[in-house]
Amino acid sequence: MNGAEIIIRSLVDQGVEVIFGYPGGAVLPIYDAIFGQNKLRHILVRHEQGAVHAAEGYARSTGKVGAVLVTSGPGATNAVTGLTDALMDSIPIVCITGQVATHLIGNDAFQEADTTGITRPCTKHNYLVKSADDVARVVHEAFYVARSGRPGPVVIDMPKDVQLAKGDYVGPETVAHRTYQPRIQGEPSAIERAVKLIAGAKRPIFYTGGGVINAGPEASARLIEFARMTGVPVTNTLMGLGAFPGSDPQFVGMLGMHGTYEANKAMHDCDVMVCLGARFDDRITGRLDAFSPNSQKIHVDIDPSSINKNVSVDVPIIGDVGAVLGDMIEIWKRDGLKTDSQALKAWWGTIDEWRSIKCLSYDQDETTIKPQYAIERLYDLTKDRETFITTEVGQHQMWAAQFYKFETPNHWMTSGGLGTMGYGMPAAIGVQLAHPDALVVDIAGEASILMCIQELSTAAQYNLPIKVFVLNNEYMGMVRQWQELLHGGRYSESYSEALPDFVKLAEAFGVKGLRAERPDQVDGLIEEMVNTDGPVLADVRVDKVENCFPMIPSGSAHDDMILGPVDRAKREVTDAGKALV
Amino acid sequence: MTDVEKCSRRHTIAALVDNESGVLARVIGLFSGRGYNIESLTVAETNPSEKVSRITIVTSGTPMVIEQIKAQLGRLVPVHKVGDLTIEGPHVERELALIKVAGTGEPRVESLRIADIFRARVVDSTNDSFVFELTGASSKLDAFVDLMKPLGLVDVSRTGIVAISRGAESL
């Protein structure tokens, strides 16, 4: 076999069924190998960024590793945004990039880029393969690295001469990594300490993140079991939504900058915080010196570098969150432990008071569609089906997180860490390919959707029935909101001038276009959208100046939220706050 | 001094890594990308049969930053092991320098006399120059270089620190 054929064989043996890619000069031998087989399905995207996001959607909705194939030079550099996105959100991806022939490397050859150099800081690991005999080992190792420990993207740079050279194939079972052995089981004594802390807590909270999703559906099941046994309130990060049922009374909503008032207040006032697979990032903590000052903190994470990075914790546990939760449940049962029911009752009473503020309320009148209303209607009309939601980045993303309730893991795909506009539609394509019969909706904004609009062509080509639900307020809404709150209402370059007619745009791509302009048209639009067999792009004209609340303004403590327009009038953001992103 | 500077401390960190292409770039990129200091860095293959290199890095930071540096190094895929010699017990640190001094007459003789006191070896000599080889703690090298300045110091090349723990244990 030549190097290109070895790649295909290795991918197939790794269980890859779909690969997202775009051909070019430096990967032609691999495309030739794809042509001669039918085990691996290739999906032709329209831009390499879309290929990686599609693989991310595929990976996150299935728990498998996403596969990508792009050419050298611009193919590789276009993939960088997607790779960085996957790194920040811990999504397992293997991306094969073409490279100029080994004797040309370093010569500034046509479509040459230092791909391993460029992608070193935005991948978990990368390889430059110099011999066809190494190809199979490297591919198998790459899949192992991508999926093990804290998952992430891995790049394999394949010079063209290596693709053409003859080499030997080895199967996945023969490959063992000699250094990379992440720890799965947590330290038993630390877990014992953590469980004792939880049992003795008066105001505990479970703060859970994307790590629970990455640990697989069993981890979510254990989280639910442990939460039921203990009666502890649960909050999810943006990446963790779906790990705990969104409509469950024990769920206090998402936390963080646009999380619920009750979730952030509970985080601030708790006495024992149990962080499961989350990383205390700045969108969660607000001003660090005011973050949950009186709590003992337990942190379970598979990545040792997440521990004590932003917030020092009292009980660090390095391990797979599913395995650690299993151990915690076992100890709880073994010792017949119980939480202090009196204290917990009082704690829930306090939480219910915070809840009674109804921080997500909004006023829907008869003339203008509120974006929150559109998402609430979408939720009501799709919750009884198997529905996957992806998003772009901005206000619509936060509203989707606030108003769409996820009952199960792996049904919510969003760009959390990097905040990549353009993520949602290609991700929806990847999700739809993995779940052909499910409803897949990309909740989008009119600005974000234009960043990867070309992928509508991919959806059309493969007749993937994705639904793009654009909340069109004619503004880069989150930029406009920050300009209103922090920059005196000077709306510098945030108005989306010269927007296309989205219905005609959809039609130009061979896709159905729909529009709603009044609240009474929303239900009809959603019904028509979800009942259409092929892809749909829906242009929902929403209130142009609605802001996303509640909000922890930059530089503020996490319990110091702006609740809504009235509350906002009383607030000033400091200069130090303005410097924060 | 700010509070952060006050509790900032110098650490000598050793890492065993696979000697593969790009491994050094990975380590250096980690330090620059995350804003950590490198005061000195040395790297060489120490186990040729298994292609393992040892990297010695001298850095400084608060205990939280040092812990982060070690965790970040540890999660790099080609890294086998990371040790913090500064906190793991007594250790020996050495640095080697080659120091070129040019001159004739009394300063030339004086440089040789000082070299003798420091136990520096002359590894090259012309009629008007010496190259001294000196090993020792960095402070000893600093002192020697300072003394050579008025005597015709021309060039200094230093390796950066290598370090190893005392006693029978390996890293």
In a domain, B171, yes or no: no
Q: Are residues B56 and B131 in the same domain?
A: no
Are B78 and B10 within one domain? Answer: yes
- B169 in any annotated domain: no
Which residue, among A511, A540, A354, has the nearest Cα to A443 in the 3D structure? A540
CB contact under 8 A, A180 and B67: no
Cis omega (within 30 of 0) on the bond before A550?
A: yes
Question: Any chain B CB within 8 A of the CB of A441?
Answer: no
| B64 → closest Cβ in A120, A126, A312 | A312
pLDDT recorded at residue B5? 65
pLDDT at A177: 82
B80 lies in the same domain as B97: no
**Residue A111 designated active-site:** yes
pLDDT at A570: 64
**Does the residue B33 lie in any domain?**
yes
> DSSP states of A389-413 as a string?
EEE-SSHHHHHHHHHSPP-STT-EE
ipTM > 0.95 for the complex: no
Token code pair at residue A561: 């939220």
Q: Is B20 on the interface with A (CB under 8 A)?
A: no
Domain of B45, CATH number, reads 3.30.70.260
Is B19 in the same domain as B55? yes
DSSP string, A322-359: HHHHHHHHHHHHHTT----HHHHHHHHHHHHHHHTT-T
Tokens for A158? 């394949």
Whether B15 has its CB under 8 Å from any CB of chain A: the answer is: no
Tokens of A525: 């639009």
Residues in chain B within 8 Å Cβ distance of A309: 68
Annotated active-site residue A181? The verdict is no
Last residue of a domain, one of B58, B88, B118: B88
Which residue in B has a C-alpha nearest to residue A120's C-alpha?
A: B26
Q: Which residue of chain A is at minimal alpha-carbon distance from B63? A: A308
CA dihedral A453, A455, A457, A461 (to 10 degrees): -160
Of the candidates A48, A262, A446, A474, the residue annotated as catalytic is: A48
**Does residue B11 share a domain with residue B68?**
yes
Nearest CA-CA distance, residue B89 and chain A, Å: 22
pLDDT truncated to tens, each residue of chain A (581 aa)? 999 999 999 999 999 999 999 999 999 999 999 998 999 999 999 999 999 999 999 999 999 999 999 999 999 999 999 999 999 999 999 999 999 999 999 999 999 999 999 999 999 999 999 999 999 999 999 999 999 999 999 999 999 999 999 999 999 998 888 788 899 999 999 999 999 999 999 999 999 999 999 999 999 999 999 999 999 999 999 999 999 999 999 999 999 999 999 999 999 999 999 999 999 999 999 999 999 999 999 999 999 999 999 999 999 999 999 999 999 999 999 999 999 999 999 999 999 999 999 999 999 999 999 999 999 999 999 999 999 999 999 999 999 999 999 999 999 999 999 999 999 999 999 999 999 999 999 999 999 999 999 999 999 999 999 999 999 999 999 999 999 998 999 999 999 999 999 999 999 999 999 999 999 999 999 999 999 999 999 999 999 999 999 999 988 999 999 998 777 766 777 777 778 77
What's the CA gap between A326 and A332, in Å, rounded? 10
Contact of A316 with chain B, judged by CB distance below 8 Å, is answered with no
Best residue in A99, A102, A114, A120 to probe B by mutation, most B CBs within 10 Å? Answer: A120
Residue B63 domain-assigned (yes or no): yes
**Chain B residues whose beta carbon lies within 8 Å of the beta carbon of residue A179:** 18, 77-80
Do B72 and B96 fall into the same domain?
no
User: Does residue B137 sit within a domain?
Assistant: yes
Look at residues B37, B64, B88 and tell me which one is the last residue of a structural domain: B88
Report the SS3 class of residue B37. coil
User: The domain spanning residue B145 has which CATH number?
Assistant: 3.30.70.1150
Closest chain B residue to the Cα of A154, Cα to Cα: B77
Amino acid at position A13, single letter: D
The verdict on residue B168 lying in a domain is no
**Do residues B75 and B99 both lie within one domain?**
no
The reply to whether residue B68 touches residue A305, judged by beta carbons under 8 angstroms, is yes
Whether residue B101 sits in one domain with residue B124: yes
A225 and A329 Cβ atoms separated by less than 8 Å: yes
Number of domains in chain B: 2
Of B18, B26, B68, the CB nearest to A179: B18
Point out the domain boundary residue: B38, B58, B88.
B88
pLDDT for position B48: 95
pLDDT at A579: 82
pLDDT for the residue A87: 98
pLDDT of residue A575: 76
Q: Report which secondary-structure segment, H or E, holds A531.
A: helix A522-531
Phi-psi region at A161: left, alpha or beta (left = phi > 0; alpha = psi -120 to 50):
alpha
Tell me if residue A229 is catalytic.
Answer: no
Q: Is residue B127 part of a domain?
A: yes
Does A483 qualify as catalytic in the annotation? no
- Residue A145 phi, psi (nearest 5): -65, -45
Q: Is the dihedral of CA B83, B86, B87, B91 positive or negative?
A: positive
- Rounded distance between C-alpha atoms, residue A486 and residue A479, angstroms: 10
**Catalytic position from the list A158, A425, A476, A478:** A478
Nearest CA in chain B to A115: B22
Domain-embedded: residue B170: no
One domain for residues B72 and B99: no
Smallest CA–CA separation between A90 and chain B, in Å? 14
**Positions in chain B short of pLDDT 70:** 1-5
Q: Give how far A182 is from chain B: nearest CA, Å.
A: 9
| Same-domain pairing of B120 and B77 | no
CA gap A167, A133 in Å, rounded? 4
B69 and B41 inside one domain: yes
Whether A254 is catalytic is no
Domain that holds residue B131: 92-163
Partnered with residue B83 across adjacent β-strands are B14
**B41 shares its domain with B18:** yes
